[in-house]
Chain A
Amino acid sequence: MNNPSPIVTASGLSKSVANGAQPLAILQDIGLAVMPGEAVAIVGASGSGKSTLLGLLAGLDVPSSGSVTLAGQELFALDEDGRAALRAKLLGFVFQSFQLLPSLNALENVMLPLELAGVAGAHTAAEAMLRRVGLGERLHHYPKTLSGGEQQRVALARAFVINPQLLMADEPTGNLDAATGADVINLLFELNTERGTTLILVTHDDGLAHRCNRIIRLAGGRVV
């Protein structure tokens, strides 16, 4: 039996920003590999570089040095639009601040990635996904009329509706109370398992991190 190749790899990944005369290193020489179907948590204190690493792994930002491959594709060999096209094909996202579009209702928010990809039957698929996350009665509600937990469920539905191979989640419970956060995380892991999605999750919550197969700890911009 062949060993499957990693869906994400990073090697020698560094990011620094200009800070007066001295550059400030945010990430230094990060190397990692994530296998398909694996759930990996990136943990660390505030300012340890977790979100920056996630942004680099998703190709939302460019590193100062190093490389990232996504499904075998060297990410930074692509231009900005090439990376966007790759994200459209492979990636789902969940954010701490939900990032729902306020002018769209729940259903339209979930339809959006399908519409952008030009997938037919966006309405049906989005509606089914919202029913799956328990918001069948809230299809036409706008974000401002939904609770924080409900908004994050819509965000989960939006992330999973395109059946991504890889889901990236940035502090998905950061804006939620403990009980609601737990519900959302349960749902996230359920969906993840159902669909065999690879999960990279950024959190500072150790309890949540331990539900993943593996934990990568960051401190001072390095893997420890």
Chain B
Amino acid sequence: MRLALTLLWRDWRAGELRVLALALVLAVASVTSVGFFADRLQQALTGEAHQLLGGDVVLVADHAWPQNVRDEMATRRLQVAEAMTFTSMARTAKEAQLVAVKAVSGGYPLRGKLRITLAAGAPDATTDALPAAGEVWVDERLAGAFAVAVGDILELGNSKLKVSAILTLEPDRGTSFFNFAPRLMMRLDDVAATGLIQNGSRVSYQMLAAGERADAQSFEQWMTPRIGRGETLQSLTHARPEIRGTLDRAAQFVNLAAMLAVVLAAVAIALGTQFYIKRHLDGYAVMRCLGATQPRLLKLLASEFAALGVMASLIGALCGYAGQAVIVWLIGDLIQVPLPQPGLLPALQGCAVGVVMLLGFAMPPLLQLGNVPALRVLRRDLGPPRQSALFAYGVGLAAFAGLVIWQADEVRLGAIVFGGFCAAFAVFGIVAWTALRLLGRSKGATGLTWRFGLANLGRRAKANTVQVLALAIGLTTILLLTFTRGDLLATWQSQIPPEAPNRFIIGIQPDQREPLLDFFATSGLPKPESYPMVRGRYVALNGQAVNSEGFDDRARRLVEREFNLSYMNELPAYNQLSAGRGFNAADNTRGGLSVEEGIAKTLGWKLGDTLTWQVGGEDFSAPIVSIRKLDWDSMRVNFFVIATPALLGKAATSYISSFYLPAAKASFTQQLSQRFPNVTVVDMSALLKQAQDLVAEVVRAVQFIFLFAVASGVLVLYASLLATRDERVREAAVMRALGASRKQVLASQRAEFAVLGLLAGLLAAVGATAIGWLIAQKVFQFPYHINHWVWLAGPLLGLGCLGVNLRAAARAVLGTPPLAALRDA
């Protein structure tokens, strides 16, 4: 091992391991920065799970919990607290704002502490208190949005409540990416006076329990079999699945972004290894001649590279630690829990990635060095037996596929991503290789330098293809995140008609419907459409009771919660039928349903199926007579399921409406809330902006991770330059020996690199446009307008990157005296 370390140090000093080491550092840093970040989140979610729940066992339902549950908690000597959450409008004298109200009983939270302060931005402290009767606490966002301070009055429904503190931390707020509305916390006892809880109000009722571990467990055991539809039990053993789900998916996504750096680093490792082998063929032949046996050489090589792998991985892990701090800083707003320090596991996983990369992409070709014939010392034309590329990189590809699947944490997704990488590499590679061969053969080039430069493109087609490939993939990510992302957003926004509704009103009670529509007229606004809305639960398909077990996550959530159903004689004109027909007189008599295409697909509904729904404790069944396609971007009121009036007309109904509010009439929202305190006005443009801001934060994190990929891409460029450096130096020496000037030598190199840069840039522009088109067509389903700037930016960036390479190449070829280059040849 000592000799291996000595050899490692000597190779390092000679500069022959730098590409390999840097590639490993980048790959490990990329993976560990995400790993550390995910670990901190995970720890925050599991380590302090009871704090995140606010109790040891938390029951959540879309209806109030019955008394016997409270009794069971009491008999087990558990402390109990209750909470209700719902969205509503809060008002000041000047404006109205959507808020997420949390009304809590004494004792809340049973685990963890609230933190409050008396002025926004001032130091906060933990508290055991709660808002007093008639008082509310608001979070910093709400204080900012309303410009309210402690002591100000807010109106909520029919109540006037005094702001008595700014809430800075609520342990069980969760780490959802979509906590749209700011928080308002109040006493549970004050809710009734607000008059906000009416028909159609979407309220979440929570019962929190905490106590001795055995008591909590015994209650959990009692409660678990009694959990019904629309109810969930959360405990230390059943942590909040929706939070987990969101974060896991985000982590999965960012993890896969990190794999792009790994794949490019793998290419750099493979190239760096080729360079190392070329440089060491003679050395290993001499060592064999000096009596080193093949196993000895292989052991030395393996030890040397294992030591390199461990050291580079450790440095990579340290860089990853710094990287995760940047991610936390970039998307800190999304995380509303304090993050503990990360554990060592991500570092170990990162090191494992480093070792796997080295074993996969460096070791198989390196093993060739052990096979160098000793006779090479006498006959330099002898090299190691040629290895098949399949053996050399088959191991690496298999290792990489394993890594991707591991990072994706799901075989199917991992396989898709791996296949995507392979397909992108294959397509870019084939196009680049063909173009280079064709250019190499083009005889039309005039002038010696261009002819020589173009001929080199074809002659070094393999090495040049790798350069084009690496650069094109790096540039595609850059173009995607700059031009294409902006284009997609702009196209999407342009799809929304300028006067599309931008406000929704929900919770309109039947007796308020006419006065509310009149209120529009008296305020000089057109009367909006309004639709009845009934809460109902999906219970059976063709007579078979629905069991949520068999569904995937999204479908399960849909099945478990209550649906908003509507009823009408005729389907809205803006709904497009994709199967079946509109309601007719017969349907109106015997009952019929119209369902949305997407949800029908998710839940396996077909035309003619009979669905059974439970509304207000009573069931009704009806067949599906039509399937509708909805344009969600229209911002109009849309329903997944519409029934004929006879089916739902007698159920407890509220109304929903949407309207366009011009900016000049912004105060209308406040007036409407004042006049109808129980209705909720949702400002869609504000929500969209918030969603865009949140997405922008995630994109920033992905962009940061892509920096590792870009750095790896640059490293591939450098490595491929190194791989051809000796050849370039010799060629330049021959040219100069034959009388070429330095300028001519440089010009032929410039011609070669210019074509490579342009080709890579063009491929990247095609790649970014193709991905943009795919996203537009498949994900957002709108026509994609190509951004013509991409065609300029791609080639320019390509030229810029290879310009850097040209400088390095020029230094090498012109920095070596021709005589020295020819003597070494």
Contact = CB atoms under 8 A, between A and B. Distances in A.
A81 B375 contact: no
B291 A55 contact: no
Contacts of B295: 81
Contacts of B6: 115
A108 B14 CA distance: 13
Contacts of B652: none
B289 A93 contact: yes
A54 B296 contact: no
A45 interface: no
A123 to B, nearest CB: 11
A85 B291 contact: yes
A151 to B, nearest CB: 11
B282 A80 contact: no
Given A60-B289, A88-B290, A93-B290, A116 B3 contact: yes
Given A102-B14, A104-B10, A91 B291 contact: yes
Given A60-B374, A81-B295, A103 B290 contact: no
A99 interface: yes
Given A103-B16, A103-B279, A104-B10, A87 B290 contact: yes
Contacts of B10: 103-104, 108
Contact of A103 (B3, B14, B373): B14
B288 interface: yes
Q: For the side of the interface on B, what is the size category?
A: 20 to 34
B377 A99 contact: yes
B375 A60 contact: yes
B14 A60 contact: no
Nearest to B292: A116
Contacts of A95: 377-378
B294 interface: yes
A210 interface: no
**B282, B291, B380 interface centre (most CB from chain A within 10 Å):** B291
Contacts of B373: 60-61
A95 B379 CA distance: 11
B575 interface: no
A195 interface: no
B291 A113 contact: yes
Contacts of B13: 103
A112 B377 contact: no
A58 B375 CA distance: 9
B646 to A, nearest CB: 89
A51 interface: yes
Interface in B362-379: 373-375, 377-379
B377 A93 contact: yes
A113 B13 CA distance: 20
A77 interface: no
A146 interface: no
B286 interface: yes
A65 B282 CA distance: 28
Interface string A97-121: 1010111100010001101111000
- Most-contacted residue by chain B among A60, A93, A95, A170 (CB, 10 A): A60
Contacts of A61: 373, 375
Interface string B201-219: 0000000000000000000
Contacts of A117: 291
B291 A89 contact: yes
Interface in B11-41: 11, 13-14, 16
Contacts of B283: 101, 103
Nearest to A158: B290
B793 to A, nearest CB: 42
A210 to B, nearest CB: 24
A113 B296 CA distance: 13
Interface residues on A, range: 20 to 34
B523 interface: no
Interface string A45-58: 00000010011001
Interface in B428-465: none
A212 interface: no
Contacts of B375: 55, 60-61
Contacts of A81: 293-295
B290 A112 contact: yes
B287 interface: yes
Nearest to B2: A115
Interface in B670-720: none
Contacts of A25: none
Nearest to B374: A60
Contacts of A170: 378
Contacts of A133: none
Contacts of B286: 99, 101, 112
Contact of B378 (A51, A89, A115, A118): A51
Nearest to B6: A115
Contacts of A101: 282-283, 286
B275 to A, nearest CB: 13
Nearest to A95: B377
Contacts of A71: none
Nearest to B820: A144
Interface in A38-76: 51, 54-55, 58, 60-61
A139 interface: no
A84 interface: yes
Interface in B265-314: 279, 282-283, 285-296
B291 A88 contact: yes
B296 A116 contact: yes
B288 A84 contact: yes
Contacts of A60: 289, 373-375, 377-378
Contacts of B16: 103
Q: Which of A91, A99, A117, A144 has the most chain B CB atoms inside 10 A of its CB?
A: A99
A88 B377 contact: no
- Residue of B10, B13, B14, B293 with highest tally of chain A CB at under 10 A: B293
A54 B289 CA distance: 12
A87 B291 contact: yes
Contacts of B291: 84-89, 91, 113, 116-117
Interface string B331-345: 000000000000000
Given A60-B373, A103-B10, 16 more contacts: A60-B378, A61-B375, A80-B293, A80-B294, A87-B291, A88-B291, A89-B291, A95-B378, A97-B380, A99-B286, A102-B279, A103-B11, A112-B287, A112-B290, A144-B820, A170-B378
17 contacts: A55-B375, A60-B378, A61-B373, A80-B294, A81-B293, A81-B295, A84-B374, A85-B291, A87-B291, A88-B292, A93-B377, A99-B286, A101-B282, A103-B11, A103-B14, A113-B290, A117-B291
Pick the 8 closest A-B CB pairs, nearest first: A88-B291, A103-B14, A81-B293, A87-B291, A60-B375, A60-B374, A101-B283, A113-B290
